Amino acid sequence: MIPSYVTGRPTGKETGDYLALDLGGTNLRVCLVTLKGNGSHEIEQAKFKVEDSLKTGDMVDLCDFIASSVDAFLQERPHLTGKHLELAYTFSFPILQTAINRGTLKQWTKGFSCKNAVEKDVAILLQEALSRRGLPVHIAAIVNDTVGTLLAHAYRHPETAMGVIMGTGSNACYYEKIDKIQKWTRPENIEDDEMVVNMEWGAFDNERRVLPMTQYDNKLNRESRNVHQQLYEKMVAGMYLGEIARNAMISLIDHMLLFSGESSPSMNTQWAFETAYLTQIECDTSKDLSRTRDILENTMGIPLTTLADRQIVKHVCGFVGRRAARLVACGLSGVLSHCGQIGQPTVVAIDGSLFEKYSHFEAYTREAMEEMFGQASVEKIRFDHAKDGSGLGAAIIAMIADQHHLSA
């Protein structure tokens, strides 16, 4: 539970040009956001792929890559050359913030493991890289993607109570009464009575006391880059679901219950069964499961599959996907009941490819929440897909930090 230093709700009247960066886990996005007041905005953006070598190399190289991406983005827009710009840095890893634009990395997640980063201030490291390139860009805020998603959605829909990410990783944030936040004391210049708390819910139950982990989860955890960390995230997020299903299929193969006991080099490779395959198989409604056959035989290299094999695989994918949605329902329910929102009209803003592309996810989540609170209460909760909202949300936070002189 990390105080975000973002207090109060946006009004929709905010104006100005702001840069936003989003380092999510898969891509780096650079955005120019023009806030126009009256709840409207324009956004221009470019995506840069983060190569695996950057995720495991030295932090200086990652920061130089980010700075060079900002440079490339600005060079394509000559009207911005030389202009001083405030930037919000959406850095979606566990950061202990000490100010709105200062924060030390506690640990890497989502397959990142850059050296010389943990316990360092990631805003200062990036500011140094921007300076090395001579860019007149000032980091006004460090933003968690959940917080950006919440603020972007609240800019248009003030009743938004939570921001949630279901992408490579999973996390959530919500508005908490400042009086209840024991880790932070309100300074005199802050009048708002709420602050957004970044839950880092991916780390829930790292003590392994309540989550019903299976042997397939344990194997994934053991073989991951962050053993015994982010255990809830490892059961629900896009990076992991395919791998859990692969572990289950390997076990069925070893028991001679699948593919006549024959595996393939791809099927034996860690991470090779992507979560996108899992969702495509679960949503395959063709009679002979032809899409499933295509994935198993042509992509995963299984020599021959029977209809029974494909049905088993479809069940495995369904179990893993539905369990993820139901575990997320637990997280959402915990927060919404803590905030007294059950039974009230409530909006949850959700971003991330898993939520966007897995068409059954929302229905499974609602089904589990209805089991807990009844249909009438759950009908009042709306899940909005806040697509790429974090760029806009980050810009709003940069604006707040800039105008209220909050940044160091």
Closest CB to Mg ion belongs to which residue?
A: 24
Q: How many angstroms separate the CA atoms of 317 and 51, rounded? A: 28
Token code pair at residue 249:
């299929």
Is 115 a catalytic site residue? no
Size of the residue set binding ligand ADP (CB under 6 A): 16
Q: Catalytic one among 110, 219, 234, 314?
A: 110
Q: Does 358 bind ligand ADP (CB under 6 A)?
A: yes
Pairing of strands 41-49, 27-36: antiparallel
Q: Catalytic one among 22, 64, 121, 145?
A: 145
Q: Which is nearer to Mg ion, 356 or 370 (CB)?
A: 356
Q: Does 149 bind ligand ADP (CB under 6 A)?
A: no
The DSSP bridge partners found for residue 22 are 29, 90
Q: Does 167 bind Mg ion (CB under 5 A)?
A: yes
- Beta-carbon contacts of 78 under 8 Å, excluding residues fewer than 6 positions away, are none
- Binding piece for Mg ion, criterion CB under 5 A, among 62-70, 164-172, 205-213, 256-264: 164-172
Binding mask 306-345 for ligand ADP (x = CB under 6 A): ----------------------------------------
Q: How many angstroms separate the CA atoms of 404 and 398, rounded? A: 10
Length of the chain counted residue by residue: 408
Q: How far is the CB of 234 from ligand ADP (least distance, A)?
A: 12
Is 64 a catalytic site residue? no
Q: Does 171 bind ligand ADP (CB under 6 A)?
A: no
Q: Does 9 bind ligand ADP (CB under 6 A)?
A: no
What are the Cα distances from residue 195, in Å, to 67, 238, 346?
A: 30, 28, 18
- DSSP track, 277-345: HHHHHHT---TT-HHHHIIIIIIS--S---HHHHHHHHHHHHHHHHHHHHHHHHHHHHHHHHTT-TTS-
Q: Does 109 bind ligand ADP (CB under 6 A)?
A: no
What does the binding site for ligand ADP look like in residue numbers (CB under 6 A)? 24-27, 167-168, 238-239, 275-276, 279, 352-354, 357-358
Q: Which residues are catalytic?
A: 110, 145
